[in-house]
Chains A and B, each alone.
Chain A
Amino acid sequence: MPLTYKFPYDIPLDRELISLGFESTSHTFGVGVVRLRHGFVDVLANVNSQYKPLKGGLHPREAALHHMEKAYPLLKQALREAGVGLGDVSLVSYSMGPGLGPCLRVSASVARFVASYYGKPLVPVNHAVAHIEVGRLFSGLEDPLVIYVSGGNTMIVAARDGGYRVLGETLDIPLGNLLDTFAREVGIAPPYVVDGKHAVDICAEWSREFIPLPYTVKGSDLSFSGLLTAALQKARRVGGEGLGAVCNSLRETAFNMLVEVAERSLLLTGKKSLLLVGGVASNTVLKWKLEKLAEAHGIPYYGTPPEVAGDNGLMISYTGLLTYLYGVSVEPEKAVVKQRLRLDEGDYPWLRG
């Protein structure tokens, strides 16, 4: 039995639609298949493969090579799991950006091919919007304040006046990037994530001590670069066993900053629920802090589960479907990718209400 969720938008539809989506903005290549019928969304398939560097960080070219290798087998697997053929698909969607150019091109190429060969409508999807929309689908929250944290993004977002508005964001590096870079520089990664736990979290368990580190909150904006530099300096000075305290303090400081700006935005917007999305949404400590925040304000909180928190094909296929229902599609020759695509610049007709 596929997972089924109530479609949160009221759009009359007398036929069923099947959407095939490709994700490849960064380290993940993913294929998702969803079906919309009778006001319910069925998740038919969500297969993803992550590029994991053996040393150092993510090299865009290496990641893109991984995606090219995985594209065909993953598509085949997704269709088999979904029990549909390419001919049955109603539309094809792909992640248009923001992301790494070489990676983005892979999903766009595959999607263009499938769409033109089988004569299917082609729908570009903003990756950040996909994270948010799939969070709204899974949580059933109507109009939440969204906290979107991943390796490439850190922002507080709310829907307002027919668009997504960014209330606060990082002025330099994103939260996921802060943790990854720190882990890499002090030599505890890669692998960045082991059994669903980040290297910094594992290391933080060695200590319960706190070292003061720079805390930079500017209104609802954040800055992590000074924190990173200071933490690295501390780590070099204490070395070895002292690293636990640095990891613990780094994590506590960074998360406190995020939760503080989330709280400020919550009061500013008056939203009545809290939604956490993006790769870092899997982090149990951050989840705990946001649960406490929601509890203090007496509002519901939902964090997307690991299989849709990180980058995945499902969120693209679902958001592609949603976009298509408002008549948006592009010709294959105009299906471009954009490395820089801001969340607050797009047009999202379903928010007009």
Chain B
Amino acid sequence: MAERVDYFNKGAEAVLYRTRILGLDCIVKKRLDKPYRHEAFNKVFKEYRTRVEARILSHLKSLGLNVPAPLIVDVSRGILVLEYVDGVPLSSLVDSMGREELGVVAGDLGRQVAVMHSNRVYHGDLTLANTLYGGGRVYIIDFGLAGYSDDVEEYAIDLHLLHRNLQAMHPGIAEEFMNRFLESYKQWYSGAFEEVRKRFLEVRVRGRYVDRELRKTVMRDRYVS
């Protein structure tokens, strides 16, 4: 069925191969056992994350979001075959983008994350390295840590992770990107945006050794208003 399988890339928990199946360009994602993890843990992780990723990808695809469609799933072996997406991670592009284009991609990402959250899905590892930009579209990939939740906490954590990733890896454009992202997110999120925004601020000040006054202000708002 597969004509040729080529090594494509290596992520934190999986190896990716590129191949063609029935004339379709595909990525084979195989989750690996970790040498530092006891085998009992390896099995649980591999199976659980493969299952979750497949389920969520097909749900998001049906909502019309830009994610690779899952084609074949083999949970016990930790294998997921995905539609190939031709693109480059935003993480390698944003630093050299013009302001206008930056606003457009940030907005596109904001819209999709908002639609995702509106459908109770959180990503769990939202960073620019987990996006692909190609053909004028932003794709979101890598849903191994994703899940379903009604709790705004999980949505706020997605925003927090993205913000922290921006600050750590792209300090020059971090705030600009985040502002444009949130503008668009606000428009598309179907729940109460204010709740997510507040929780997002709260998660930020939860880190250790954050200035006490800042933390007090944010936490007080939670109980007073």
Chain A interface (Cβ < 8 Å from any Cβ of B): 97-98, 152-153, 158, 160-161, 163, 165-167, 169-172, 174, 210, 212, 217-221, 252, 256, 259-260, 263-264, 266-269, 288-290, 292-293, 295-296, 339-342, 344
Inter-chain contact A153/B208, CB cutoff 8 Å:
yes
Complex CA gap A152/B38 in Å reads 27
Inter-chain contact B165/A219, CB cutoff 8 Å:
yes
Inter-chain contact A340/B212, CB cutoff 8 Å:
yes
Complex CA gap A98/B207 in Å reads 13
Inter-chain contact A219/B127, CB cutoff 8 Å:
yes
Complex CA gap A169/B160 in Å reads 12
Inter-chain contact A170/B38, CB cutoff 8 Å:
no
How many residues of B sit at the interface, in one of the four size bands? Answer: 35 or more
Interface segment, one of B59-67, B167-175, B183-191 = B167-175
Closest A-B pairs by Cβ, 6 of them: A219-B161, A289-B36, A165-B168, A292-B36, A219-B125, A98-B209
Inter-chain contact B35/A295, CB cutoff 8 Å:
yes
Known: A166-B207, A219-B165. 5 other contacts (CB 8 A): A153-B208, A165-B169, A210-B41, A218-B124, A219-B126
Output the least CB separation between B82 and chain A (Å): 19
CB contact between A296 and one of B35, B44, B129, B169 (< 8 Å): that residue: B35
Complex CA gap A217/B41 in Å reads 14
Output the least CB separation between A338 and chain B (Å): 9
Complex CA gap A172/B205 in Å reads 11
Inter-chain contact A217/B145, CB cutoff 8 Å:
yes
Inter-chain contact B171/A161, CB cutoff 8 Å:
yes
Inter-chain contact B35/A165, CB cutoff 8 Å:
no
Complex CA gap A206/B123 in Å reads 38
CB contact between A268 and one of B36, B129, B203, B209 (< 8 Å): that residue: B129
- Measured CB to CB, the nearest residue on chain B to A219 is B161
B206 at the interface (CB under 8 A from A): yes
Q: Which residues of B contact A161 (CB under 8 A)?
A: 171-172
Inter-chain contact A160/B169, CB cutoff 8 Å:
yes
B40 at the interface (CB under 8 A from A): yes
Output the least CB separation between A297 and chain B (Å): 9
Q: Which residues of B contact A171 (CB under 8 A)?
A: 203, 206-207
B220 at the interface (CB under 8 A from A): no
Inter-chain contact B36/A293, CB cutoff 8 Å:
yes
Complex CA gap A169/B207 in Å reads 7
Complex CA gap A50/B29 in Å reads 50
Inter-chain contact A267/B11, CB cutoff 8 Å:
yes
Inter-chain contact A341/B206, CB cutoff 8 Å:
no
Inter-chain contact B210/A340, CB cutoff 8 Å:
yes
Inter-chain contact B38/A210, CB cutoff 8 Å:
yes
Complex CA gap A160/B13 in Å reads 24
Output the least CB separation between B55 and chain A (Å): 19
B37 at the interface (CB under 8 A from A): yes
- In the complex, 26 of the A-B residue pairs with CB atoms within 8 angstroms, ordered by the A residue number, are A97-B209, A153-B208, A161-B171, A161-B172, A166-B164, A167-B164, A174-B208, A210-B38, A217-B145, A218-B125, A218-B145, A218-B161, A220-B161, A220-B164, A252-B41, A259-B37, A260-B12, A267-B11, A289-B36, A292-B35, A293-B36, A295-B35, A296-B34, A339-B209, A342-B209, A342-B210
